[in-house]
Chain A
Amino acid sequence: MTSEVSVGLDEGKHLVQRSHGYAIAEFALAIPALLIVVAMSVSLVGLTVTQIQLESAAALGARIVGRGDPIPDSFRNSLPEGTEIVIEPDAEVEVVQFTLKTTKNISFMLFPYRIDLTASSRARLEPVFEEFG
Chain B
Amino acid sequence: MDRTKKSELGQISILVLATTIAFLWATLAIGMLAEVLVAQQRLNAKAEAIALAGALEIEFNQDQACVVAQEFSTKNMGTKTECVADSTNIEILLSEPNPNRFLSEFLPNIEASSRAGIASDN
Contacts and interface: CB of A to CB of B under 8 A. Distances in A.
Contacts of B10: 22, 26
Nearest to A40: B27
Contacts, number: 97
A25 B70 CA distance: 65
B101 interface: no
A52 B41 contact: yes
A19 B8 contact: yes
B24 to A, nearest CB: 6
Interface residue tally on B, bucketed by range:
35 or more
B16 A63 contact: no
SS of B interface (majority): helix
A63 B53 CA distance: 10
21 contacts: A1-B3, A1-B5, A19-B9, A22-B11, A26-B10, A27-B16, A33-B16, A34-B16, A34-B19, A34-B20, A41-B23, A51-B38, A52-B38, A55-B38, A59-B48, A63-B48, A95-B76, A122-B76, A122-B77, A123-B52, A126-B56
Interface of B: 1-3, 5, 7-13, 16, 19-20, 23-24, 26-27, 30-31, 34, 37-38, 41-42, 44-45, 48-49, 52-53, 56, 72, 75-77
